[in-house]
Structure 1
């Protein structure tokens, strides 16, 4: 994966819809914002999408079908304690996404690979948001 793509992931504003309305923004290498702290508690969390696999633009309909498939898989996952609508916004693009509380890193790695995502954002409790690269076998961990 090239450095420009990693930089784009790092510069993205990862917005999570709050239960009472509005959004809270996650930023890579920044702590979880206060409005999300109660939602995540002591659990792991992830911000991911099924849009544009391998960072290649696809038609909206295909992205929508893939996103619904991701949501269906998450709803069946016993470890998913909360699933919130979200959106990743960067430059002149945006991707509908999901903020998931509960699944452990191995589960979110598997989901990212299943839906052909190069990377996703994750964290533990109210710690820092980290960019996790998933392209290749096995996932390569944090982006430097």
Structure 2
């Protein structure tokens, strides 16, 4: 496991855009904010992306195309109750568009993330702290 990459994922601030404006800020291992709990109503959720497969930068057009395909898959999933815009923001200012999929459990998120070449994703359920999950593609 690449410890620098692991540390970067753990230090990322995961931000979910709220319907009423503003953001809910998620940190791995910290209690989820009340605004997230109000959105998810105790069902599983995952913050996922199709940007930068294998944590390697790719052209913006390719990232956008992959993200649109991921969004279409989430919209077609019978388990996904709602989707919210999100972003991962690194301590050094790095930013990656993401999606909060409400109703998507960690097993289903792992399948999707693996399909899009992602190394990891964040998932949770209820009041449990968000957890970092590695895909099988992880180093």
For this structure pair, what is the TM-score category when the shorter chain's length is used for normalisation?
Answer: over 0.9
Paired position in structure 1 for 2:76: 76
For the 8 Å contact 2:124–2:130, the answer to whether it is kept is yes
Q: Which moved more, 1:68-77 or 1:86-95?
A: 86-95
For the 8 Å contact 1:50–1:97, the answer to whether it is kept is yes
Please, what TM-score do these two structures have when normalized by structure 1?
0.92
Paired position in structure 1 for 2:129: 128
For the 8 Å contact 1:86–1:98, the answer to whether it is kept is yes
Paired position in structure 2 for 1:67: 67
Please, what TM-score do these two structures have when normalized by structure 2?
0.95
- 1:49 maps to 2:38: no
Deviation, structure 1 residue 92: 2.9
Unmatched segments (≥5 aa) in structure 2: none
SS, match of residue 25 in structure 1: strand
Pairwise mapping of residues 112-123 of structure 1 onto structure 2 (< 5 A)?
112-123=113-124
Deviation, structure 1 residue 41: 1.1
Deviation, structure 1 residue 55: 0.4
Count of residue pairs brought into register by the alignment: 137
Pairwise mapping of residues 22-37 of structure 1 onto structure 2 (< 5 A)?
22-37=22-37
The root-mean-square deviation of aligned C-alpha atoms, in Å, is: 1.1
Measured against aligned partners, the alpha-carbon deviations of 1:9-46 in whole angstroms (never above 9, x if no partner) come to 00000000000111110000011101111111120010
Where do 4+ consecutive residues of structure 1 move more than 6 Å?
none
